[in-house]
Amino acid sequence: MFRSTQSKYPLVSYKDAVLNCLPGDGGLYVPDQAADFRQYFLHMDEKTSFNELVAAIAPSLLEGGLNPVSSLRVVESAYNFKPELIELDDGFFILNLYNGPTGVFKDFGIAFMSAMFEEFMKDGGQAMILAAARPDTGVSMAHAFSGRKGISLVLLYPSGQIRGLDPSSFVQNGGNIIPIQVKGTFDDCQRLVIETINDREFSERYNITSANTINPGRLFPQIFYYLYAFNQVKNRLNGDLIFSVPSGNFGNLIAGLYAWKFGMPVNGFIAAMNSNNAMGDYIQGKPFVPKNLIFTNSPALDVAVPINYDRLASFYDEAPAVMRNMVYQASVNDVLTLETMEYVYKKYNAYIDPHTAVAFAAARKIEAERKWKGNTNTIVLATGHPARSANLAEKATGKAIKTPEFLKELWKKCDPIALIPPQLDAFEGAIVSCF
Ligand SMILES: *Cc1c(COP(=O)(O)O)cnc(C)c1O
């Protein structure tokens, strides 16, 4: 069962939390009790496939939402890609999470969520999903939701950012995707999503929910790749295990914390930030004071106030001392980011993207400070395909990187089906006119 970060009651089922993703009190949904995955680990090792693992574990994580049969259906419909763990050095691993259709780790949560929505609608329901979109997550969501029965997806883009969508999937061409451009910023889009959901009459009429990580349906499937990585390494671990996670809105790190809370034996996490590092103070036990946004070369980490702040805070409120021993923070500037991309290329003959470089450099920093005594195994989460930042990769390494065709498609410009001012009535009017 799930509850709001703001109160212990009411409890709602996972399905209800997904379909109705904002509690009325301004909080965010979090699990009320801990699941326990340990029983499953006994049956899993490095030969267990990602889909086998997800199909087995999802019913216990998403109790009441999926059963063993529907779980298998959802997994097979969600994933034709998987994480890939690579050992670069003795005990130093990189977990490639960019093998999905749009080259970012967010494909994992979004693909599972879209397949699960379709499963929830299979008895004839209709739902509308709203999402504030940036170019990359927009494509990822459109890709995952396109053609799903019983669902329409409304993507709100800030000015000038629509790219890579397939017009044949748009609602006026018989599809189910509705891209709308807002004359405003990403924050305006995010605010419009929340205002629309909180307009209860309107959101009930269209059965509206959101596909941003405020929705637990997208955040919790991100647990699966942590468990997969753990099962890949557990039989050869010699010493501690830590994950280094490039963190912007902190959805990825929080998924890791839940994996731990639900039984994955891990010794620590590194919250790796670029120069937007205000959360670092919070992690060290000081109050969170937002700082002005700085634009860096790892833009997905350019976040002033993480949207998942309340979820992270709920961990610290419960057990502050435990959290201080569990989560470490490091901040990596643009210069070190580029140097790290160069270092990895020279030492391992591999490209990494700038977000991954932030996590890589953070892991090296923390190791150098000897926060962990004894032997440490480190898994760095590689969140973005290196060719998504081809210019930067070339600048760092001196060698041009080859961009796969499917990534080139993602940068093609396209038109919205409506252009609106950043106001609730304009947005609701645009939705109504589609039906
Ligand atoms: C979104 C994103 C991140 C940050 O993930 P959060 O869950 O927001 O912390 C890191 N790297 C890449 C490539 C991303 O797209």
- 359: Cβ below 6 Å to ligand 1? no
Distance CA 207, CA 205 (A): 6
Mutate to test the pocket of ligand 1, among 94, 247, 258, 283 (most ligand atoms within 8 A of CB): 247
**Integer angstrom CA distances of residue 176 from 137, 193, 194, 278:** 17, 18, 21, 39
Rounded distance from Cα 293 to ligand 1 centre (Å): 16
Task: Quick: pLDDT tens for 102-155.
Answer: 999 999 999 999 999 999 998 888 999 999 998 888 999 999 999 999 999 999
Region at 363 (left for phi over 0; alpha for psi -120 to 50; beta for the rest): alpha
Calculate what percentage of the chain has a pLDDT beyond 70. 99
Task: Quick: pLDDT tens for 382-407.
Answer: 999 999 999 999 999 999 999 999 89
pLDDT(26) > 90: no
Task: Quick: pLDDT tens for 278-334.
Answer: 999 999 999 999 999 999 999 999 998 898 999 999 999 999 999 999 999 999 999
pLDDT category of residue 161 using cuts at 50, 70 and 90: confident
* Nearest atom within ligand 1 for CA of residue 307: 8
Specify the pLDDT at position 342.
98
- 106: Cβ below 6 Å to ligand 1? yes
Residue count of the chain, please give it. 435
pTM of the model: 0.93
Residue type at 113? Answer: M
Rounded distance from Cα 248 to ligand 1 centre (Å): 6
* Nearest atom within ligand 1 for CA of residue 246: 10
384: Cβ–Cβ under 8 A, 6 or more apart, which residues? 98, 103, 104, 105, 300, 353, 354, 355, 356
Specify the pLDDT at position 123.
87
Rounded distance from Cα 336 to ligand 1 centre (Å): 19
The mean predicted confidence, pLDDT, of the chain is: 93
Rounded distance from Cα 300 to ligand 1 centre (Å): 5
Mutate to test the pocket of ligand 1, among 97, 106, 360 (most ligand atoms within 8 A of CB): 106
pLDDT category of residue 419 using cuts at 50, 70 and 90: very high
Rounded distance from Cα 234 to ligand 1 centre (Å): 26
Specify the pLDDT at position 372.
59
Rounded distance from Cα 307 to ligand 1 centre (Å): 12
